[in-house]
Structure 1
Amino acid sequence: MRILVVGAGAVGGYFGGRLAHAGRDVTFLVRAGRAEELRRAGLVIKSARGDLTLRDVKTILATDPAEPFDLVLLSCKAYNLDDAIASFEPFVGPSTRILPLLNGMRHIDVLTQKFGTQHVLGGQCVIAATLNREREIVHLNELHALTFGELDGGPSERVSAIDAVLSGAGFDAMTSDTILLRMWEKWVFLATLAASTCLFRGSIGAILSTPDGRRVIEGLLGECRAVAQHNGFMMGPEFDSRATQTLFTPSPLTASMLRDVENHARTEADHILGDLIQRGGVAQQRDAGLSLLRIAYSHLKAYEARQAGAA
């Protein structure tokens, strides 16, 4: 199976690098500058799960000719989705499958409208990784899981074929017969974490140390869950247990969106919070002007406006 990994950043570079190291046929679709970096220094992963340096990494530019790939692994930032689609569209053929690892749900709508539902799978990943100054991929903890499945649920031959390729490649690869529910669960959790840590400009531990911090997190979680339920996705006891353990236990945990704010970088506020609000739900329809989720989103939009003014 020929795999095209769109980009060689923290997420795509990590999973693609592990796959290439395991002997899978992987090509990275990158810009000319990143291609030169990989040619010069290789693809470097620093991880508690094992460091890795790959030499002679296979790369391709959007303008290069190539046969269609069997699998496209897509892990760009949500605000770069349109540019990413334009770059890999020439490499999509009749049997190509697209496995996106973005957060939220808007990208599924965009991809299925562009390529058709027959080409798109549901997917998500759990990993904390970043690029350091040397452009090395730094894995920040030990979690490195990738879950995928058919958008309409259930098993399929193509999911089994992809599972056979992704399994045993140095990270946790799992299939799911209910991938859309899994994606909504992650979205609800991530939106709660991003909204609370950005609003307070602090970690979960710092928020819980304040007089009303726990109540704010509870309120945000409830609003996000209400949106999911409005869209037909009910969070179960297993989600409740994981969310409670993570969101209400003091820890240094923050959302990557807060790190973006602290680094004066662009955020995915529109895609993680804004799109959630647009999809409605009881919590957003009732007294929407005082919704905690809307307040957190407005807080981030004010940050964006301030950044635009500074630029």
Structure 2
Amino acid sequence: MKILIVGAGATGGYFGARLADAGRDVTFLVRERRAEFLRERGLRVAGLERELRIEPKVATAGQLGGTFDVVLLTVKAAGLQSAIADVAPAVGPETVIVPFLNGMAHMDALAEAFGAEKVLGSVVHLVGTIDAAGDIAVLRPLARWTLGEQGGDASERLARLVAEVSVPGIDVVPAQDGLDAMWQKWVFIVSAGVVTCLMRGPVGDIAAVPGGAGFVADVVAEAGAVAAAAGFPVSPGEQAETVAFLTEDGSDFTSSLYRDVTAGLPNEGEHIVGDFARRARSVGVDTPLVDLALLQLRVHEAGMARG
């Protein structure tokens, strides 16, 4: 099975390195600068029981030779449209497209470009970053990949893909419904983003002050109400787990959205929080806390644009 991974950042690089290390046929589609770096240094993953290093096959836009069986889109939202254009020559009649992006807006874009029938629902959990050396640093021992057909039908192609990507270092979970799995994660990342961006700190500090834990619970309930109205309810047990995680005593956890904002980097506020707020309106759910966080993110972006 020929696998094309679009992007070689922390997430795409980690999953691609694991697949290639297990003997899978993996090619990374990256920008020229990243391609040069990977050719010279290799793709390295630190923070594991041993450093993982591979000599990756890389290609840049215009260098793809033929179609691939699977395309894994691991770019962030800002790079989605250019990635769609770059990857188009690699998509054939039987190609399966699996996005790693958060939220749901990208599913519409991929359906418009390639047809919804080509796209699987997919959720990845990995806590990692690109370190100062340009390598991938894994920060927590978690690498889970949940994927499934949209709408929940079992399929032979899903079974084949699950078998192909089930390699050491990746916990692969077939989902009964790929879209439902995506909504469950969306509720979590919206909750985490709203909590940390509004309160400007790690969740342990937020929970430690009077009213902090109650605020977290209100945000999680608000996000859960949107998912339920959209037809993808989060179970009470899962909501309770999210609240517990986001109120853990002494936890230094912050959302990736918060980390990008405080570092002055491009962020996915519109893709994650903005689209969530828009969908809340479409299903008739009021989201004052989500809206407040979105307003703050937009003000921050306006300030960044002014320089």
TM-score, with structure 1 as normaliser: 0.95
In the alignment, what sits opposite 1:32?
Answer: 32
Cα distance in 2 between the residues matched to 1:111 and 1:65: 19
The Cα of 1:212 is off from its aligned counterpart by 2.2
Where 1:128 maps in the other structure, the secondary structure is strand
Against the structure 1 CA distance between its residues 30 and 280, is the aligned structure 2 distance closer, same or farther, given a 3 Å change threshold?
same
Partner of 1:137: 136
Aligned residue type for 1:253 = F
* SS of aligned partner of 2:280: coil
How far does residue 285 in structure 1 lie from its aligned partner after superposition?
Answer: 4.6
Matches of 1:240 and 1:285, distance apart in 2:
18
1:13 alignment counterpart: 13
CA distance in 2, matches of 1:280, 1:105: 13
The unaligned stretches of length 5 or more in structure 2 are none
Contact (CA 8 Å) 1:22, 1:170: kept in 2 or not? no
* Displacement after TM superposition at 1:147 (Å): 0.8
Matching residue within 273, 290, 293 for 1:293: 290
2: distance between equivalents of 1:238 and 1:123? 22
Quote the Cα distance in structure 2 between the aligned partners of 1:296 and 1:148: 29
Total equivalences in the alignment: 306
Cα pair distance change 1:38/1:11, threshold 3 Å:
same
How far 1:232 sits from its partner (Å)? 0.8
Name the SS for the 1:215 alignment partner.
Answer: helix
CA-CA distance at 1:192 after TM superposition: 0.6
After TM superposition, give the deviation of residue 48 of structure 1 in Å.
2.7
Secondary structure of the structure 1 residue equivalent to 2:226? helix
Equivalent in the alignment of 1:43: 43
Secondary structure in structure 1 of the residue aligned to 2:72: strand
Cα displacement (A) at 1:197: 0.4
Q: Against the structure 1 CA distance between its residues 283 and 163, is the aligned structure 2 distance closer, same or farther, given a 3 Å change threshold?
A: closer
2:254 aligned partner: 254
Aligned twin of 1:111: 110
Q: Which residue of 2 aligns with 1:100?
A: 99
Partners in 2 of 1:271 and 1:162 — Cα distance? 28
Normalised to the residue count of structure 2, the TM-score between the two structures is 0.96
Stretches of structure 1 that go unaligned for 5 or more consecutive residues are none
| Structure 2: distance between partners of 1:219 and 1:240 | 11
Moved more, 120-129 or 206-215: 206-215
Runs of 4+ in structure 1 deviating by more than 3 angstroms, as ranges, are 281-286
Q: How is 1:1-311 mapped onto 2 (pairs within 5 angstroms)? A: 1-55=1-55, 57-250=56-249, 251-280=251-280, 285-286=285-286, 291-310=288-307
Deviation at 1:162, TM superposition (A): 0.3
Hey, what's the Cα distance between the residues in 2 that align with 1:184 and 1:91? 28
User: Which piece of structure 1 moves more, 43-52 or 181-190?
Assistant: 43-52
Quote the Cα distance in structure 2 between the aligned partners of 1:305 and 1:284: 28
* Secondary structure of 2:183 counterpart: helix
Q: What percent identity do the matched residue pairs reach?
A: 40
CA displacement, residues 246-305 of structure 1 (integer Å, 9 cap, x when unaligned): 12222111101111112101111101111001002599654x6xx111111101111111
- The answer on whether the counterparts of 1:277 and 1:284 sit within 8 Å (CA) in structure 2 is no
Q: Give how far 1:50 is off.
A: 3.6
Q: Is the 8 A contact 1:11 1:129 kept in 2?
A: yes
Alignment deviations for residues 18-64 of structure 1 (CA, whole Å, 9 cap, x no partner): 10000000000011111110111000100235420112x10111111
User: What do you get for the CA RMSD once the two structures are aligned?
Assistant: 1.5
3-state DSSP of counterpart to 2:143: strand
